[in-house]
Structure 1
Amino acid sequence: MVSSPDPSRPATPADHREIDALLRAAFPGADEAELVHQLREGGEMLSEVVTPWHGRIVGYYALSRMRAPDGWACLAPVAVLPAYQNGAQGVHLGSQLMHDLVTSIRSSSSAIDTVVVLGDPPFYARAGFSLERAARLSSPYPIDHTLILRPGNDRPQAELIYPDAFG
């Protein structure tokens, strides 16, 4: 019988060391781990969410405050320990993380009305992010890998200014 991870929960300062290890295992190099440190230190982090399983953190995502447009957030990074990626252990943990995020954003009364992500379009589109709705945005990053999640069906025209940590 396949077990399932524990419910995702907000990260705590006690999780930071394990989050750092997860990011260093999930990505080549230390860029994502350093990004998270800088977002925390710069006060740009809105929320961090972890998914525990068998007593360890196996999934993670962070939302940071975009400098512009106002009220928008940036999703980065999203990470799953390699041993739990691509349906390993019988669960698609990355998809579950994105489902948890989308559910949280849509049911929340937070000031966040739009989430931007730079990444693999098919993966994020399955979670409800839209490449087409982001087509009129201007960004320092490739627009063909920029997706948004927001209510409605408009195609906003705006300049994306990421948190300083992305610089």
Structure 2
Amino acid sequence: MLKSPDFMRPMARGEEPAVDALITAAFNGKAEVQRVADLRKSRAIAGEMVLPMDGGIIGYAALSHMIAPKGWIALGPVAIHPDHHGRGFGRRFVGMIAQWAQMSGQTVVIQGDPAFYARCGFAPIADGFTSPYPLDTIQIAGPAKTKEKALTFPKAFR
């Protein structure tokens, strides 16, 4: 019988140690764990989502308030436990976030592998924006309506 994760849900209080262990395994170190801690400490976190399976957590995604454009959300880090790579869980997990952005009218920005995020429902950012990261690695989901053209990520992203 094939096993699949439960539905994505908000991270519950007390799940931080399990999430930290997942992020450490997924990124082969503690740098991203520190990024999440910094996002939490600075109150930049807009939400933390987990992907539960068999009483554990196999996926995690942080959503943070962008400094600019106001009202936009940055997605990252996103982690799937290495034992579950290659099974489509990450694509579906991120895809649910992209679909939520479209349905809610929320703009979500991700910096990362454009080919992967395109398969999840994200699209390249329009011309005219500036970013501290190469624009060809910036993807968005949602309406992207703004007059502000400079992307400013939370301090923890630097």
- What TM-score, normalized to structure 1? 0.87
Deviation digits for residues 1-57 of structure 1, max 9, x if unmatched? 212111111002211111100000000321111110010110000000001111110
Q: 2:101 matched to 1:99? A: no
Q: 2:35 matched to 1:56? A: no
Which residue of the partner structure matches residue 46 of structure 1?
46
Q: Distance in 2 between matches of 1:161 and 1:99?
A: 24
Q: 2:123 matched to 1:130? A: yes
Q: Distance in 2 between matches of 1:47 and 1:84?
A: 23
SS in 2 for 1:13: coil
Which residue of the partner structure matches residue 131 of structure 2?
139
C-alpha contact (below 8 Å) 1:73/1:116 kept by paired residues = yes
Deviation digits for residues 103-150 of structure 1, max 9, x if unmatched? 322333xxx73111011111111122112x344321111211111112
C-alpha contact (below 8 Å) 2:99/2:121 kept by paired residues = no
C-alpha contact (below 8 Å) 2:92/2:120 kept by paired residues = no
Q: 2:106 matched to 1:113? A: yes
Aligned CA-pair RMSD:
1.9
Instruction: Provide structure 2 residue ranges, at least 5 long, that are not aligned to the other structure.
Output: none
Q: Which amino acid in structure 2 is aligned with residue 103 of structure 1?
A: Q
Select the residue among 137, 162, 165 that pairs with 2:153.
162
- What TM-score, normalized to structure 2? 0.92
Q: Which amino acid in structure 2 is aligned with residue 122 of structure 1?
A: A
Q: Distance in 1 between matches of 2:38 and 2:150?
A: 22
The Cα shift of 1:164 comes to 1.4
Q: Distance in 1 between matches of 2:126 and 2:21?
A: 32
Instruction: Provide structure 1 residue ranges, at least 5 long, that are not aligned to the other structure.
Output: none
The Cα shift of 1:155 comes to 9.8
